[in-house]
Amino acid sequence: MRARQITKTYGATRALKGVDFEIRSGAVTALFGENGAGKSTLMKILSGVETPTSGILELDGREIQLASTVDAAEHGIAIIHQELSLCPNLSIRDNIYMGRELVRGGIVVDERTENVRTRELMARLEEQLDPRTLVADLRLGQQQVVEIARALAGDARVLIMDEPTSALSGNEVEVLFRLIRELTDSGVAIVYISHHLEEALEIADHAVVFRDGELVATGERDAIDIAWVISNMVGRSADDLSPDLRDDFGEIALSLRNVTVADPSNPTRLAVDDLSLDVRAGEIVCLYGLMGAGRTELLEALAGRAPIQRGTVTVGGRELRGESIADRIRMGLALVPEDRQRDGLVQTMSVGENSSLASLSAYVLGFWIGDRRERDAVEKGIADVRVKTSGPSASITSLSGGNQQKVVIGKVLMTEPDVILLDEPSRGIDVGAKGEIFALMAREARRGLAVLFATSEVSEALGVSNRVVVMSKGRIVRQFEPKNATREDLMIASGEATEEELTGSAHR
């Protein structure tokens, strides 16, 4: 498939500027670029979601017109979107076959055959899920698997994957990569977009980099590395993106003693088991571990979203005793959740309304909200975290993923916390935005804020923290100072890999 001189304009904004792009059969094209670089816009054009302002699309050397996703599907083109587009009130089966139901006699939906094929797709992705399970009952990673299965069900010739692993565990990523190789071996052309640079380079056959709506670099996998990708994406060295961390800390701001939390989806299982940890003012502590290690459950329990069964938590010398989420925010403890779309933002509200949502009580005058006080605070907050937006009244959905994440962090900072909890703060954002997010964390730590964040990215754990706490099966198994630890140390401690596997990989 080829795109020739594709342009796309939205009012005065030129999202794409005469792009030439090609997709090869039986190969994986890794597509890199910052949020707003034009990657997703081009992919929406290739998959029929958007139409170009000008330019030509070709398939097998013939010009084609894609007026809708139905047109694209008929040509064998499918896309897995960055943000999940599932219906949570429907089953896995109904989500996979929605709009292309299998019917008997042209009248009745053949649910039995759909169930069989859904089970086959789930088995292919190594997920033992009942096709009749509601999507709302699945964890985020399993929902991502369903999104992938829906694209596979269409037997696509061209498959576009926009951040397909953003919610997947390490094992699930391995399964997906094996499936990608099976697809390319059978001639399927794949476009792979990911902000996980090492992961994308692992699966890529060749790479393309976008910047400011233009294709600025291409390279074969053997001739490129991460430094090449980053320098072409952001126009500066990877070393420039590392934050300046504080090396002296204050008093203990957050103290956990023998904390135990049940798994919300299975109360008979412990998600966090007898965990003790201190975080000091000015310190950035990273919780590293695989999916299921208990990181999210711990952070959500600390924020008040889930109950703590046993143990004590002290914030600024004051012990928590079942306070509500709002009470904990007033005490100076606040959470930036993993899923910003579902838990961090209200999609129907503006940038400004989302920004002030957690701190509205500070602007109440009598029975009314002081509009001017709120507006001044919001404008100051937006400028403080450097959100790129046309203004507070802009729709939150008009922002890139990185800028939406800044709004969520800015909303939390407007509550003036003493301790900030962040769950996968860089999920689904590009390397430039990651650098800005982590620089923001480091800045707040230098001001005396205690920071506890969770990540499944080894490079983040080692690059942007003062201390790495490795979790496995709800317990702390090791603690490291980043300057004295390696990637292999973290992977072995978390159970992600064994020493023998890593040694064998190095030899290969």
Q: Which residue has the higher pLDDT, 173 or 366?
A: 173
Predicted local confidence at residue 505, as pLDDT: 47
Report whether 318 contacts 331 (CB < 8 A): yes
Cβ-contact 160, 208 below 8 angstroms? no
Secondary element (H or E) of residue 278? strand 266-280
Q: What would the two tokens of residue 205 be?
A: 């056959």
* pLDDT at residue number 30: 94
The continuous run of DSSP H or E covering 389 comes out as none
Between these two residues, 496 and 63, which has the higher pLDDT value?
63
Decide if pLDDT at 242 tops 90: no
Residue 129, helix vs strand vs coil: coil
pLDDT of 11: 74
Identity of residue 99: G
Pairwise CA distance, residues 194 & 466, whole Å: 27
- In this structure, which amino acid lies at residue 161? M
Considering the chain, what is the average pLDDT of its residues?
88
Distance CA 344, CA 180 (A): 32
DSSP for 238-254? GGGGS--------SEEE
- For residue 254, give the nearest of 225, 222, 277 by alpha carbon: 277
Q: How confident is the model at residue 498 (pLDDT cuts 50, 70, 90)?
A: low
pLDDT for the residue 250: 94
Crossing angle between the packed helical segments 431-446 and 401-413, to the nearest 10 degrees: 10
| Contact between 77 and 58 (Cβ < 8 Å) | no
Structure tokens at 49: 């979601």
Give the β-pairing of 450-455 and 419-423: parallel
CA distance 224 to 241: 19
For the ranges 166-170, 238-242, 441-445, the lowest mean pLDDT is seen at 238-242
Q: Is 310 exposed, middle or buried (0-12, 13-18, 19+ CB in 10 A)?
A: middle
Count CA atoms within 13 Å of residue 309 on its CB side.
15
CA 374, 406, 482, 455 dihedral sign is positive
Which structure tokens are listed for 410? 């800015």
Whether residue 145 is predicted with pLDDT greater than 90 in this model: the reply is: no
Q: How confident is the model at residue 311 (pLDDT cuts 50, 70, 90)?
A: very high
Contacts of the segment 172-176: beta carbons below 8 A, 24+ positions apart:
172/125, 172/126, 172/141, 172/144, 172/145, 172/291, 173/199, 175/125, 175/126, 176/125, 176/148
Q: For residues 271 and 469, is the Cβ–Cβ distance under 8 A?
A: no
Q: What confidence score (pLDDT) does residue 147 get?
A: 85
User: What is the distance between the alpha carbons of residues 253 and 288, in angstroms, rounded to a whole number?
Assistant: 20
Output the pLDDT for position 492.
Answer: 86
Beta carbons within 10 angstroms of residue 64's beta carbon: 15
Residues in the chain: 508
255 DSSP β-pair partners: 278, 314
CB 186 within 8 A of CB 76: no
DSSP character at residue 340: I
Compute the distance between CA of residue 341 and CA of residue 348 in angstroms, rounded to an integer: 11
Q: Which two tokens stand for residue 87?
A: 């219906």
- Please state, in angstroms and rounded to a whole number, the distance separating the CA atoms of residues 489 and 500: 13
- At residue 507 the predicted structure's pLDDT band, cuts being 50, 70 and 90, is very low
Q: Which two tokens stand for residue 406?
A: 């800044």
pLDDT of residue 314: 96
- Reading across the β-sheet that carries 77-80, which strands appear in turn? 77-80, 158-162, 189-193, 28-32, 206-211, 214-220
Locate 467 and state its tokens. Answer: 């201390």
Q: Quick: pLDDT tens for 253-297.
A: 999 999 999 988 778 889 999 999 999 999 999 999 877 789 999
Place of tokens 């996998």: 221
Structural domains in the chain, sorted by start: 2-236 (3.40.50.300), 251-504 (3.40.50.300)
* pLDDT tens digits, 323-354: 999 999 999 999 999 888 889 999 999 999 99
Q: How many CA atoms lie within 13 A of 364 on its CB side?
A: 8
In the chain, % helix, strand, coil (3-state, to 5) comes to: 40, 25, 35
Residue 420's H or E segment, with its range, is strand 419-423
Could you report the per-residue pLDDT of 438-460, keeping only the tens digit for each? Answer: 889 999 999 999 999 999 878 88
Measure CA of the first residue to CA of the last residue in the chain; give whole Å: 34
Measured CA to CA, the distance from residue 346 to residue 397 in angstroms comes to 9
* Residue 191, strand partner residues: 29, 160
Among residues 337, 335, 309, the alpha carbon closest in space to that of 322 is found at: 309
pLDDT of 211 reads: 86
Residue 500: what pLDDT?
60
Residue 478: predicted pLDDT: 94
